[in-house]
Homo-oligomer: A and B are copies of this chain.
């Protein structure tokens, strides 16, 4: 029996309220340079401490699999209870979501970047000297103006940062994944894309569309310097993901500021709540919307940003900023509250990492691990153990008494 089917069979409607509070990239490592402390350990967190004292279960979570460093996509899918290995989201889709494109079922997305070609079409710079974002925006506007449709397929072009942009193909009978239109190094021409599954008629149609797109777009860029060409990668459609509300019998809302996280939430069918710009505003909006939803995904970006910058003090400060706002959320304590990261972003790594992120689970039935604080080191001896992140959602449901007994 598939475990997810068993969970579905046992799921009860209880009217419970669940909150997942994600401090992006929260996890860190205690290095000698940092005095063997993590930002979470160094931070002053009186409100988290109080929550821990009231009774919490703690543990650590492996975002995908041992040693795997996830991007935001797999990181969040895991937190939402979807196995990130089973439900893979193409990079084109992630980029499009990140740029705020509202995707529809069947859309095929490609991650693209401007490049420099020589007279023979050989790639001489895969990033076109990292052109400024303004140039990228100008080129995308130019392409958009001239290429709106190819046959019956709509083409949506959206500029990203520097040399990056995305292309979304919207039409009937399209499918990914395709191979990349990228030689992966300089000195070679742009290869034609091919279906990953040679038997798929939809992938074949999609590959022809990409070839047609190149035929239309390259002449438009021909006189540009240095961005007279472009590469396309991660060409895939939106994966079919079971809808959150059907899967968990919970009506979900997303309180995120950045488009990428709103997009990931939308991918599983969460309702976006727009407006709040700070974590305090997000918590206030949660209070206002309390009766309208059963599950709230609240996303806090800045811990990850500070980790990416390798800025220990900033990461500590952002944790303290969230802690200071926490009493707003706790004015109406949900039945189940989980606080964690989508992965670790250790300051010493200056990027995402594979280190399991700490997790705190608070409910009337979470019990207490009798730890004094919420920290990486404390979480190591928590009752949740070291688990895969995809299990958190089921533990949250269990804490809300949403599962019937299995077997007599």
On A, residues with C-beta under 8 Å from B are: 1, 3, 6-7, 10, 28-32, 36, 54-55, 59-60, 64-74, 84-85, 88-89, 91, 94-95, 98, 111, 234, 346, 348-349, 351-356, 364-370, 376-377, 380-387, 391, 394-395, 397-398, 403-408
A348 to chain B, nearest CB (A): 6
Known contacts A54-B32, A60-B383, A367-B346; is A67 also within 8 Å of B356 by CB? no
Say whether A370 contacts B36, CB under 8 Å: yes
Structural contact, A29 and B387, CB atoms closer than 8 A: no
What is the bound-complex CA distance between A64 and B95, given in angstroms? 38
**8 tightest A-B contacts by CB?**
A385-B386, A29-B367, A67-B398, A67-B394, A71-B407, A94-B408, A66-B391, A381-B381
Complex CA gap A89/B406 in Å reads 10
Tallying the copies of this chain within the complex gives: 2
User: Contact at A354–B407, with CB atoms within 8 Å?
Assistant: no
Q: Are A391 and B67 in contact (CB under 8 A)?
A: yes
C-alpha gap A125/B91 in the complex (Å): 57
Minimum CB–CB distance for A105 against chain B, Å: 20
Query: Given the interface contacts A71-B405, A403-B67, does A381 sit within 8 Å of B380 by beta carbon?
Result: yes
Q: How far is the CA of A355 from the CA of B25 in the complex (A)?
A: 27
Q: Is the CB of B367 within 8 A of A398?
A: no
Inter-subunit contact A91/B407 (CB<8 Å): yes
Interface contact B368-A30, CB-CB below 8 Å: yes
Of the residues B54, B353, B383, contact of A380 by C-beta under 8 Å: B383
Taking CB as reference atom, which chain B residue is nearest A386?
B385
Whether B385 contacts A382 by the Cβ 8 Å rule is: no
11 further contact pairs, Cβ within 8 A, besides A69-B403, A89-B407, A367-B376:
A31-B364, A65-B394, A66-B394, A74-B406, A74-B407, A88-B407, A346-B367, A351-B405, A353-B365, A386-B386, A386-B387
Cα distance A387–B387 when bound, in Å? 10
Asked whether B69 lies within 8 Å of A55 as measured between CB atoms, the reply is no
Residue numbers in B under 8 Å from A386 (CB-CB): 59, 383-387
Q: Which residues of B contact A364 (CB under 8 A)?
A: 31, 348
Partner of A91, one of B65, B89, B394, B408: B408
CA distance A30 to B3 in the complex (A): 29
**Bound-complex Cα distance A32 to B68 (A):** 38
Instruction: Specify which of B66, B88, B355, B382 is in contact with A387 (CB 8 Å cutoff).
Output: B66
23 contacts between A and B (CB under 8 A): A3-B85, A7-B68, A29-B365, A31-B364, A60-B385, A64-B406, A67-B397, A68-B406, A71-B405, A94-B407, A346-B367, A351-B405, A352-B405, A353-B398, A354-B395, A356-B383, A369-B377, A376-B383, A384-B386, A385-B385, A385-B386, A386-B386, A386-B387
Query: What is the minimal beta-carbon distance from A3 to any residue of chain B, in angstroms?
Result: 6
| A380 with B369, Cβ < 8 A, contacts A85-B6, A408-B71 known | yes
